């Protein structure tokens, strides 16, 4: 290797490291926002004077924002990844600040609907940029690093809840923390570049509408991938809505836990989540995307069984920690989705598979939990039953092709 080539390689690695660092801070607040919803649930219920059925309906409506994110995600194939990333990051931060001022459940739900739309847009754009920028050999690990940072954000609400409850801000103070992506926006504007593969594909040219997109995704070369990814995303989103959203409500209302119990297990959940995301990234590049996904789906089902089916404090705590580690499966989903579809419709395909179809799992699950809990008389029983829907991800993964080590052109 010549000195010039070595220098270029070092500059490239430094550029990639800087890109990952900036986007990791953005992605961190995906985990924060999703866990925040679960953590504040019993306190918001008391403040707004509502019960499980009302909460389930509100969570379902908020989740519709992720479905509507299809409309913003497809803009990334027209106008570029960077402008969509920057604008959605700004909007998400402002919306999170406004949520802290919501006087009732209706306003809280409406603001969070828009905020969720923008959150999903910024996170999907970040993963797309990383997948299109980094070499195939390290793509899985890079996305794993982003996911590990997201796990830090996911642990923060549980760690900050008890201290904030002792202040005048209370649980609303968590939403002030959630607005921090605004701090990194100037760096995104200055340093993030459009991926070369996107520029080379001329993806900024005018594209067809939703009907044309669907026809393209249903052609023989992409049909199986489209169906498999849509089913995978639905299973993962349904699991999140059934198994994670009501955890705090379940342990406080039905298990007799207090905020200090949640704070006690939070550091272990953080370690498990970070380790799970890094392990998922490592395994994707070593043993393949499909095998990794199957293993993490199995862990997800096992964790829900412990939380909602086992008795005693320790099994429930162990199940929650395991569930944080199992969330590494989301990185596998983002990675596969980016690798399976052509550059010109990569963001659009993610919008269709994950948002327009898969995110319905996040809408339906909390609504069903609320209704089943009312019938069964137990939120835990409802969560245990419905969280097993995650197992439909297994056949979905098996019909998808393996993409480990293959360039985006090859896939």
Q: What average pLDDT score do residues 169-186 get?
A: 87
Asked whether the predicted pLDDT for residue 203 surpasses 50, the reply is no
Which range (32-36, 201-205, 260-264, 401-405) has the least confidence? 201-205
174, 163 contact by CB (below 8 A): no
Predicted local distance difference test score (pLDDT) of residue 389: 95
The residue length of the chain stands at 411
Which one has a higher pLDDT value, 2 or 213?
213
Spatial CA neighbour of 92 closest among 71, 64, 69: 69
Which domains are assigned to the chain?
17-185+195-398 (1.20.1250.20)
Contact 118, 96 (CB under 8 A): no
- Reply yes or no on whether the pLDDT at 68 is more than 60: yes
Across 150-166, average pLDDT: 80
Residue-wise pLDDT for 83-94, tens only, equals 999 999 999 999
* pLDDT tens digit sequence for 33-51: 877 877 888 888 888 888 7
Mean pLDDT score across all residues of the chain: 86
Which uninterrupted H or E stretch holds 271?
helix 259-286
Q: Which of 167-176, 297-306, 347-356 has the highest mean pLDDT?
A: 297-306
Q: Convert the pLDDT of each residue in 120-130 to its tens digit.
A: 899 889 988 98
Average pLDDT over residues 194-216: 74
The residue with greater pLDDT, 256 or 9, is 256
Interior CA angle at 372 toward 296 and 231, to 5°? Answer: 35
**pLDDT of 340 over the 50 cut:** yes
Q: What is the pLDDT of residue 409?
A: 64
Read off φ and ψ for residue 224, nearest 5 degrees. -65, -40
pTM, to two decimals: 0.77
Average pLDDT of the segment spanning 378-395: 94
pLDDT higher than 80, residue 386? yes
Q: What is the pLDDT of residue 210?
A: 79
| Angstrom distance (rounded) from CA 162 to CA 224 | 47
Structure confidence by residue, pLDDT tens digits, 221-251: 999 999 999 999 999 999 998 998 888 888 9
With 0-12 CB in 10 A as exposed, 13-18 as middle and 19+ as buried, what is 59?
buried
Helices (H) and strands (E) in the chain, counts: 21, 0
pLDDT beyond 60 at 152: yes
Give yes or no for residue 399 having a pLDDT over 70: yes
User: Averaged over 101-130, what is the pLDDT?
Assistant: 90
Average pLDDT over residues 193-197: 85
Cβ proximity of 35 and 157 under 8 Å: yes
């Amino acid at each position: 290797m010549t000195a010039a080539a070595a220098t270029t390689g070092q500059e490239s690695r430094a550029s990639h490291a800087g890109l990952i660092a900036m986007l990791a801070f953005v992605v961190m607040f995906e985990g924060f926002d999703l866990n925040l919803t679960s953590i504040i649930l019993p306190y918001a219920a008391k403040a707004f004077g509502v019960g499980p059925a009302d909460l389930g309906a509100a969570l379902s409506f908020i989740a519709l924002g992720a479905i509507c994110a299809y409309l913003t995600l497809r803009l990334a194939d027209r106008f570029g990844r960077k402008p969509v990333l920057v604008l959605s990051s700004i909007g998400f931060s402002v919306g999170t600040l406004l949520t802290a001022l919501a006087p009732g459940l209706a306003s809280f739900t409406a603001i969070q609907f828009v905020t969720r739309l923008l959150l999903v847009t910024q996170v999907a754009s970040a993963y797309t940029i990383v997948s299109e920028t980094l070499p195939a050999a390290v793509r899985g690990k890079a996305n794993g690093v982003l996911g590990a940072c997201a796990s830090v954000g996911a642990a923060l609400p549980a760690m900050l809840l008890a201290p904030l409850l002792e202040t005048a801000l209370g649980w609303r103070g968590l939403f002030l923390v959630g607005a921090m992506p605004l701090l990194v926006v100037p760096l995104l504007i200055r340093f993030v570049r459009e991926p070369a593969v996107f520029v080379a594909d001329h993806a900024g040219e005018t594209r067809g509408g939703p009907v044309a997109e669907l026809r393209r995704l249903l052609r023989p070369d992409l049909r199986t991938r489209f169906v498999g990814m849509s089913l995978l995303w639905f299973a993962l989103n349904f699991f999140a809505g059934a198994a994670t959203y009501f955890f705090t409500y379940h342990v406080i209302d039905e298990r007799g836990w207090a905020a200090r119990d949640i704070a006690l297990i939070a550091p272990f959940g953080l370690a498990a989540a970070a380790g799970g995301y890094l392990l998922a990234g490592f395994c994707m590049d070593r043993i393949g995307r499909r095998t990794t996904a199957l293993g993490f789906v199995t862990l997800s089902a096992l964790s829900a069984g412990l939380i909602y089916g086992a008795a005693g404090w320790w099994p429930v705590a162990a199940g929650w920690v395991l569930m944080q580690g199992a969330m590494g499966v989301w990185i596998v989903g983002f990675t596969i989705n980016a690798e399976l579809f052509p550059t010109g419709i990569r963001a659009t395909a993610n919008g269709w598979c994950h948002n327009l179809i898969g995110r319905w799992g996040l809408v339906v699950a909390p609504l069903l939990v609320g209704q089943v809990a009312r019938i069964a008389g137990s939120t835990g029983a409802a969560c245990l039953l419905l969280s097993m829907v995650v197992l439909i991800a297994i056949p979905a993964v098996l019909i998808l092709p393996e993409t480990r080590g293959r360039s985006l052109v090859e896939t």
